[in-house]
Amino acid sequence: MLTETETKLLGVMMMVIMFGMGASLTFRDFLIAFKKPKGVLVGLLCQYGIMPFLGYALAVSLGLPPALAVGLILMGCMPGGTTSNIFTYFSKGVLALSIMMTSVSTLVAVVAVPALIEMYSNMAGVTGEFKIPAANVAQVLVILLVPTVLGMLLRKWNANIGAVVELVGGMLGVFVILFLIVSWVPRNYQLLLTTPWSVYFAAIGLGLVGMLLGYWLARLLKQDNNRARTISLETGIQNGPLAVLIVTLTFSGTMQQEVLLIPVLYSLFIVLTSTAITLWYRGISKREALARDGAKIGAVAAA
Amino acid sequence: MKAESVYDLAPWTMHYGVQSFQDGQSEHACLPALISAVAKQFAQNRAFTCVMPNGMYGNLSFAQIDELSDDFATYLRETLQLEAGARVAVQAPNCLSVPIAVFGILKAGCVLVNTNPLYTAAEMKHQFADAGVEAVVIVDMFTDKLETIRAETGIKHIITCSVASFFPPVVRHIVQGIQRYWNRAIPAHSMSVTQIEEAVAAGGAARAKLKRDPQEFWKRLKRTDLALLQYTGGTTGVAKGAMLTHGNLLANIDQILAMGAAKIELGREVVLTALPVYHIFAFTANLLAFYRVGARNLLIPSPRPVQNLQRAFENYPVTWISGVNTLFNALLNEEWFTAFPPKHLKAAIGGGAAMHSAVVKRWEATTGSRLAEGYGLTESSPLVCFQPFTGPQRTDCIGIPAPGTAVRLVDDDGKPVPQGERGELIVRGPQVMQGYWNQHDESAKTIKDGWLYTGDVAVMDHEHMFHIVDRKKDLIIVSGFNVYPNEVEEAITAHDKVMEAAVIGVVDAKTGEAVRAFVVKRDATLTETEVLEHCKTVLTGYKMPTKIIFRDELPKSPIGKILRKELRKEVAAK
């Protein structure tokens, strides 16, 4: 379990991360998303259509106990993580789309996440003490909108400082996961050793399968390759630290430890899987760019 | 001189409006005089802002650019001991170092050699050796190419700059760190180089120590002195340096401003410079002319992909933009641009290659402001003709000759053709170059009796407006009929599902030459039949393409001009 200080620290870091996310955005971005909503709608469909269902389906098909099931469903229902923007940047994806998906999904989260958690928890038969109160979730999300808007204001005031804060926030997202690994893993390695394979499978599978399905759904909805790759990363990468925060604010004691297992494992492995996927996507993007250049200067080479 | 033809009566002057123009007689004797005077006039205003794709930026005020370019001039003359007239190349994408280096070189009384950073090592070698370049200011991304050919040139001094040079320190380190460690865009080299920041500091120190006023370097410069060697591919393939004097450029600045005067307020404009300033269009129009009116210049290091312009449009109230057909077209295909077109925009200038009227109409409908087409070439600094804002609004022509410019349309014998008939456009005016550097034969072929032969076929209509029909050498002859690729391209791109098109002639057993079209789709469902059906409605039989080839992209020059010659080479190679 996380200590009181660690929980507080996590809360503060979360604020900074959201501040950074806000700083990556302009008010104009939102207006554009409303005026030309197609890309973002496809993204939202992947985010809140695929992932929560995937969390639920994995929990039920693997027969996870309630504590783990609720952790997995919670993880599936989370909005997009801010680290996805960094991965998108490095995979040469469509950064603007990634940023928009993260922020719109975070905005929509205030309504969507409590409702989805409620629905899938009920369907999975999670009851009583393991249920996450919808009001708690909504409250946390509303509070996090404050630093987000502050970040946007900062960006409007000075684009240079905004861009630096954006970078710091994104880096901190990765750092928080490292912090979790360092503070949580050593204390719980016994638990990790006895954790059954199905839990690892669920924690890793949620991200990987999410990316795969996100890609194909986006392709099906006529997004081009590069946008589909961006949506894929965005879909698979959830806001892990946010899930951890919600768990620590909702549960305590051993219960907290149990519910935390999947969000922590997910956060840990998503860094590894999305790094691998990013390198792969980057390779594809490069090949596509080269092919385009090839078409362009093929003439010169041929002559 | 007796009027030999309708052209010599200059009937188009009726469209000039009320402004007066004295044959390009700028009040300044040389560019440094202008640069210095303008800097004092607008000292505290922002002159240049370099905007990165994520919105990070660096600023220089008019006072700062004046100071830094004085320092750089002193560095060239005192520290490096270059002579007046020495050639100094600048090879960098748009960034804050460019105006510092360019203005510094001019203030030093040296000759600027604009160089495309995307050149291959062989092209660099040719240009540097041909121009006799002694010092080069090169962006750190391409030093490796320079290293391979340096020994074959006369380059003695290398000054490097970064895209983020002169940015605030934290931002500079982030941009440079990402370039170096993640994008690995900064190659290693073993040449001894000076960073531009060090060069400027050394120049500043020398200035203080020697109590040298940089005016000493330029106060004796005359309008007839060489300012710039601007290389142009030309028709023969080997790049030639067009010799442009201080007078040529000063005159053309005035001519460009005469074109825009109706929509320019001193010290109030914000111009977006997405085209590279090593190209003559953005060099004279953006870097020089808009500087002269105290505009804030937004320098975009790379406009590709075109999303790179999004933050610049959002964060700054852009009032003017210059571009080529492909840039405007690309912007019109961006959701963020069409959802919120720039609301402060007063006008846009299109040039570099023929604008397509479909694009102009969409642009004007989307932004609610004029897109005026200009026509020019490297050899004429570049502006020759423009669409006046005061005249009738036309999207299908290059307008009228700039004030102080004489033009004629002539046949193959150099005799003027009657109004309404096609002829080669020839130009005489204060903006016409002195000739090609070290190329007497080429110069004599291009400039005859003071007239610059453009190689473009044009026609003057009943309103005395000029239309470029096409490049003389791009003409396709189908069964003895002349087909101009521009006309066919216009016809094809008017189809909604077409993004862009290029048309060339290919050898044909029956008709001698046949029309072949290369088309980029806007809508993936487009078929060859649809294109042909559409063409039938606007083109007569012999102008019809015999074959449509769909492409993902068309070969383009660095500024986005579609290169038909590359397509011809490709076809010839098969």
**Rounded mean pLDDT for each run of 10 residues along chain B, 574 residues in total:** 72 71 70 96 96 93 97 97 96 97 97 92 91 96 94 96 95 91 87 96 94 91 96 70 96 90 92 94 96 96 87 94 90 89 94 84 94 92 89 81 93 91 94 94 92 92 88 82 85 90 89 90 90 89 90 82 85 82
For A113-136, what is each residue's pLDDT tens digit?
999 998 998 888 877 788 888 888
In chain B, the domains with their CATH numbers are 63-221 (3.40.50.12780), 475-573 (3.30.300.30)
In chain A, the domains with their CATH numbers are 4-287 (1.20.1530.20)
- Residue B45 tokens, joined: 């205003």
Q: What is the per-residue pLDDT for B237? A: 57
In chain B, the residue whose alpha carbon lies closest to the alpha carbon of A90 is: B182
Of A28, A35, A299, the CB nearest to B314: A28
Q: How far is B170 from chain A (nearest CA, A)?
A: 8
For B111, the 3-state DSSP assignment is strand
Q: What is the per-residue pLDDT for B235? A: 45
Helices (H), chain A: 4-23, 27-35, 38-45, 51-61, 66-77, 83-90, 95-123, 134-157, 159-184, 189-194, 197-220, 225-236, 240-250, 253-302
The answer to whether A244 and A88 are in contact (CB under 8 A) is: no
Residue of B65, B104, B67, B98 lying closest to B86 (CA atoms)? B104
Q: Which residues in chain A are closer than 8 Å to B566, comparing Cβ atoms?
A: 297, 299-300
CB contact under 8 A, B553 and A295: yes
CB contact under 8 A, A292 and B553: yes
The answer to whether B249 and B284 are in contact (CB under 8 A) is: yes
The answer to whether A139 and A146 are in contact (CB under 8 A) is: no
Q: What is the per-residue pLDDT for A153? A: 93
In chain B, the residue whose alpha carbon lies closest to the alpha carbon of A36 is: B335
A162 part of contact set with chain B, CB < 8 Å:
yes
Residue scoring higher pLDDT (A77 or A1): A77
d(CA B231, CA A11): 60
Of A96, A167, A295, the CB nearest to B551: A295
B-proximal residues of A, 60-89, CB under 8 Å: none
Q: What is the per-residue pLDDT for B21? A: 58
Residue scoring higher pLDDT (A88 or B289): B289
CA angle B180, B331, B492 (to 5 degrees): 125
CB contact under 8 A, A163 and B168: no
d(CA B420, CA B52): 47
Pairs of CB atoms within 8 A across A/B: 77
Residue of B571, B536, B563, B352 lying closest to B474 (CA atoms)? B563
- Residue A54 tokens, joined: 């995937």
CA angle B256, B467, B442 (to 5 degrees): 70
Longest Cα–Cα distance in chain A: 75
Q: How far is A171 from chain B (nearest CA, A)?
A: 13
Q: What is the per-residue pLDDT for B20? A: 55
Q: Which residues in chain A are closer than 8 Å to B556, comparing Cβ atoms?
A: 296
State residue B243 phi and psi, 5-degree precision.
Answer: -90, 110
Residue of A213, A227, A219, A221 lying closest to A281 (CA atoms)? A227
Query: Among B175, B570, B571, which would you mutate to test the A interface (most chain A Cβ atoms within 10 Å of its Cβ)?
Result: B570
B573 part of contact set with chain A, CB < 8 Å:
yes
Position A293 confidence tier, pLDDT thresholds 50, 70, 90: low
B181 part of contact set with chain A, CB < 8 Å:
no
B538 part of contact set with chain A, CB < 8 Å:
no
Q: What is the per-residue pLDDT for B440? A: 92
In chain A, the residue whose alpha carbon lies closest to the alpha carbon of B563 is: A296
Q: What is the per-residue pLDDT for A92? A: 82
d(CA B293, CA B181): 40
Of B174, B335, B340, the CB nearest to A167: B174
CB contact under 8 A, B570 and A26: no
For A77, the 3-state DSSP assignment is helix
For A188-240, what is each residue's pLDDT tens digit?
778 788 888 889 999 999 999 999 999 999 999 888 888 899 999 999 999 88
Q: What is the per-residue pLDDT for A28? A: 82
A128 part of contact set with chain B, CB < 8 Å:
no
Q: Which residues in chain A are closer than 8 Å to B326, comparing Cβ atoms?
A: none
**Which pTM value belongs to this model?**
0.84
Of B56, B335, B554, the CB nearest to A32: B335
